[in-house]
Amino acid sequence: MREETRSIIYMALDLLDSIQSSSSNITSDAFIKINNDVYDNVKKELFDLVLGSNTGKINNENFMDEREELIGVLPLFLIDKEKFPSNNDIIKLAENSLNIFGLSKRKRSRNELIGIIVTEVAKKKDSELDLFLKAWKKFTQSDSNNIEKNKIKFKNIDEKSENFVDTWLEFFHVHKGRF
């Protein structure tokens, strides 16, 4: 943890102590009322952050947020017929970057494929999704032109990279060793 962050946490702790001590001496119609149980929990969490004993829990919660975000966003990408013109493109993404196999054994509707993929993503272990999440986040960064830049960047590698799926798979293949 950076020293500046640690200083800010200590300032927050000092502010909490000041507010708590001034509100405990005042009657029930005080301007600020402090729930002592919440105060104690927040104070403990801040101390845990400074001491580093809570970092594993925070990282796991962030990963779950990323997984939930992926589960929410993935169907929106997969139903886009410009990015995924055919069911084969959806299957290609699932097999080559999510390691979800067996989708092409029988003919399925687009919606059924998307549902199976989202369900399989929800069942995967954290370690199985880590690489995909890191690459996907980098590929779809907040810069809306990032995907187009990636298309241009990887187009010269292989002329068949004409659609979103091929561009993503090329990006994933090139970057998966870096994560």
* pLDDT the model gives residue 162: 63
The HSE-up count of residue 76 (CA atoms within 13 Å, CB side) is 5
- 139/137 Cα distance (integer angstroms): 5
Tell me the pLDDT tens digit for each residue of 102-149.
Answer: 998 788 999 999 999 999 999 998 888 888 988 888 887 744 455 555
**First CA to last CA distance, the chain:** 22
* pLDDT the model gives residue 143: 41
**Is the pLDDT confidence value at 158 over 70?**
no
Tell me the pLDDT tens digit for each residue of 47-101.
Answer: 777 776 444 444 455 555 678 888 888 998 899 998 999 999 999 999 999 999 9
* pLDDT the model gives residue 24: 61
**Is the pLDDT confidence value at 161 over 50?**
no
Q: How many CB atoms lie within 10 A of CB 178?
A: 8
**Is the pLDDT confidence value at 152 over 80?**
no
